[in-house]
Amino acid sequence: MELKRFFLKANNDLETADGKGIERKIVCRKCHKHIAVSQIRDNYFVCPECGYYFRVRARRRILMLTDRRSFIETDREMSSRNILGFPEYDDKLRAAMEKSRETEGVICGEGMIDGHRICIFSMDSDFMMGSMGYVVGEKITRLFEYASVRHLPVLGITVSGGARMQEGMISLMQMSKVSAAVKRHSDGGNLYIVLLTNPTTGGVDASFAMLGDITLAEPGARVGFAGPRVIEKSLGRSLPKDFQKAERVLECGFIDAVVPRRDQKEYIAKLLKMHER
């Protein structure tokens, strides 16, 4: 069912299109209308016709939220190895690097949002579905440690299918590692804002995605621990339509606000201002 939609590839053409390609039209996945790429880009990658949220990749997210040229990336060179010798993992890593043109599934660094200094991690859906392996856990942990020492707030933009199976228990233990770093950052009186994007599931949902002081989400984002297919199978019937959708999760009490994409920067800047010291 939904899962097929869930793992739809990010529309790279959409992001990389510039100059000549910009007047090209693409078909919206939801309303199936032909819409000019430039129009979608100007509308924060949201379909101007039906409001469908196109997937935005990690680097673009940072660009959309931070002040121009303020972002400095950290640990960019870190990349994964096949620690367990898991079959086909080397090939998958190589393919993910080629496809995403990133070295791993998360981008970390420091930047400014409306003049406020902040550490940011942004997960990439195009790198093995944002799955968390050793390097993803390590980069995020380092970011929290860096932010703790400097008393900086952290903004986490999450998108993930969960822990990366190919790294076995090492990937599972990243949940513990990052959670401990978040806790230290929090106990130091520092702010952590989470922006949940579609989808944030599994081990990421059950660790740092759910540990924010303030938890925001994009409209319609799937947020949950277990995969819908697993639950459907054990229930033997289909799930309610709004199940694990950000709006429903807010009703259940686990999200502070669902913030439309065009308002996110302003919203986060406002929060940062209120927490300034």
Partner 1 sequence: MNGYIKKAIKTNEDYSVVLGARSDGRLTTSDYINAVVSDFTEFHGDRYYGDDKAVIAGIGYLKGMPVTVIGIEKGKNTEDRIYRNFGSAHPEGYRKALRLMKQAEKFSRPVLCFVDTAGAFCGIDAEERGQGRAIADNLAEMSALGTPVISVVIGEGGSGGALALCHADRLWMIEDAYFSVVSPESCANILWKDTGRADEAAKALCLTAPKLMNLGLIDRICKKGDLAGLADSLSEEFKSLNEMSKEELLEARYMRFRKAGYR
CB of 131 to partner 1, least distance (A): 10
| Nearest CB to partner 1, comparing residues 114 and 232 | 232
| Nearest CB to partner 1, comparing residues 126 and 205 | 205
CB of 252 to partner 1, least distance (A): 5
Query: HEC states along the chain?
Result: CHHHHHCCCCCHHHHHCCHHHHHCEEECCCCCCEEEHHHHHHCCCECCCCCCECCCCHHHHHHHHCCCCCCEEECCCCCCCCCCCCCCHHHHHHHHHHHHCCCCCEEEEEEEECCEEEEEEEECCCCHHHCECHHHHHHHHHHHHHHHHHCCCEEEEEEECCECHHHHHHHHHHHHHHHHHHHHHHHCCCCEEEEEEEEEEHHHHCCHHHCCCEEEECCCCEEECCCHHHHHHHHCCCCCCCCCEHHHHHHHCCCCEECCHHHHHHHHHHHHHHCCC
**Residues in contact with partner 1, shown as a per-residue x/- string from 92 to 121 under the rule CB under 8 A:** ------------------------------
| Nearest CB to partner 1, comparing residues 12 and 186 | 186
Radius of gyration (Cα) for the chain, nearest Å? Answer: 18
Does 1 sit near partner 1 (CB under 8 A)? no
Task: Work out which of 134, 143, 160, 216 binds partner 1, going by CB under 8 A.
Answer: 134
CB under 8 A: which stretch of 59-67, 70-78, 134-142, 150-158 binds partner 1? 134-142
| Nearest CB to partner 1, comparing residues 64 and 258 | 258
CB of 211 to partner 1, least distance (A): 5
| Nearest CB to partner 1, comparing residues 36 and 173 | 173
Does 175 sit near partner 1 (CB under 8 A)? yes
Task: Work out which of 160, 171, 190, 264 binds partner 1, going by CB under 8 A.
Answer: 171
| Nearest CB to partner 1, comparing residues 3 and 22 | 3
CA atoms 62, 67, 69, 75: torsion sign:
negative
Q: Which residues bind partner 1 (CB under 8 A)?
A: 83-88, 134, 138, 141, 163-165, 167-177, 179-184, 186-187, 202-203, 205-211, 223-227, 230-231, 234-235, 239-240, 243-244, 248, 252-254
